[in-house]
Structure 1
Amino acid sequence: MELTPLLLKEFAQEALTTRKMLERVPGNNFDWQPHPKSMSIRQLTTHIAELPTWIPLVLNTDELDFASSPYTPQDIKDTPGLLEFFEKSLAEGSSALQTANEEQLHDIWVLRNGEEIYSKTSKAEFIRITFSQIIHHRAQLGVSLRLLNIPIPGSYGPSADDPNF
């Protein structure tokens, strides 16, 4: 069984739900955060929007070392800019997956911070972890939107705000 078609299908399905969530982000609340230990909506949504770019990163490298690769987030100022960035990231991720070969997906990829290894898995497994990260952070965004009294779209079924799904 080939992994690439499965990954592409899952990626496309999750993109639909993620887009629906990002479309609801209010521009006037970008700097709001639900708790001092939480990311602001700007930080959270920027991260969600950039995660699809991890697919080509994983496919085209052997590792990411946070100690030697400083992180500079995209400067997102409003919801249209956020959606534009997300669509660009989706295109990059999709293109990389479409051109990936099955052998490449079995190569090992490492996520580390210097000597501390966070993950050492096949590239296919880490792409799935990336999808899980999108879902995880999208759920965090859902909590923030709920606290701001913004209706939550359905994802794997209807939500209390979207009963007709």
Structure 2
Amino acid sequence: MPNASHLKPNKMSMIQMLLKELEQEAQTTRKMLSRVPNDKYDWKPHEKSMTIKQLATHIAELPGWITMTLTTDELDFAATPYTPENITNTTQLVDYFEKCLADGKTHLSKATDDQLQPNWTLRNGEQILSVSTKGEVIRMVFSQIVHHRAQLGVYLRLLNIPIPGSYGPSADEMNF
């Protein structure tokens, strides 16, 4: 029987898989953030919703959580209150995203699969909000990017701004 070992797919490390996914999601995120209109930064669709500025800034900062996850063992909101970057226009927003993305990629590319195994804790003082492995937290960061990006898509739709496709063409990109 012939040797079929050449038919086996190359085994990717977890770090390589995460880097690939991060780059794929970054392409869509970049397009979505670039559509935020400068004159709508205070707009929100509902009184309980974030403003488009708050939402878009959070999306832009999320790749930076990769760095935080890999370089710390926890985030304690009681000791480190959340202070978002003050973004005032879409050029700043996209630049901030690119900065956070580059930082997250740099730290992730230098990490090893073994560094994804230790636990990382999210807390508010004594209240433990979650404990997960660093790898699980990084996957949660990716999920948060996708989740909030979808929210931003609804905001943009309500403002009648064409939405870029995420995993294929959007309705705005289709020829009906």
Q: Same fold (TM over 0.5)?
A: yes
Is 1:56 matched with 2:44?
A: no
- Runs of 4+ residues deviating >2 angstroms: none
Secondary structure, counterpart of 2:48 in structure 1: coil
Greater C-alpha radius of gyration: 2
User: Residue 114 of structure 2 aligns with which residue?
Assistant: 103
User: Once the 2 structures are TM-superposed, how far is the Cα of residue 157 of structure 1 from its aligned partner?
Assistant: 1.2
TM-score of the superposed pair, with normalisation by structure 2 = 0.91
TM-score of the superposed pair, with normalisation by structure 1 = 0.97
**Counterparts of 1:33-52 in structure 2 under 5 Å?**
33-52=44-63
Secondary structure, counterpart of 1:77 in structure 2: coil
Q: Distance in 1 between matches of 2:173 and 2:103?
A: 30
Secondary structure, counterpart of 1:111 in structure 2: strand
Secondary structure, counterpart of 2:57 in structure 1: helix
User: Residue 9 of structure 2 aligns with which residue?
Assistant: none
User: Residue 147 of structure 1 aligns with which residue?
Assistant: 158
Q: Report the number of matched residues.
A: 164
Q: Deviations over 1:79-101 (max 9, x none)?
A: 00101101001100000100011
Q: Distance in 2 between matches of 1:147 and 1:117?
A: 37
Q: Distance in 1 between matches of 2:35 and 2:134?
A: 32
Q: Deviations over 1:3-57 (max 9, x none)?
A: 1000000000000000010011100001100001100000000000000000010
What value does the CA root-mean-square deviation take over the aligned residues? 1.0
Structure 1 runs not aligned, ≥5 long: none
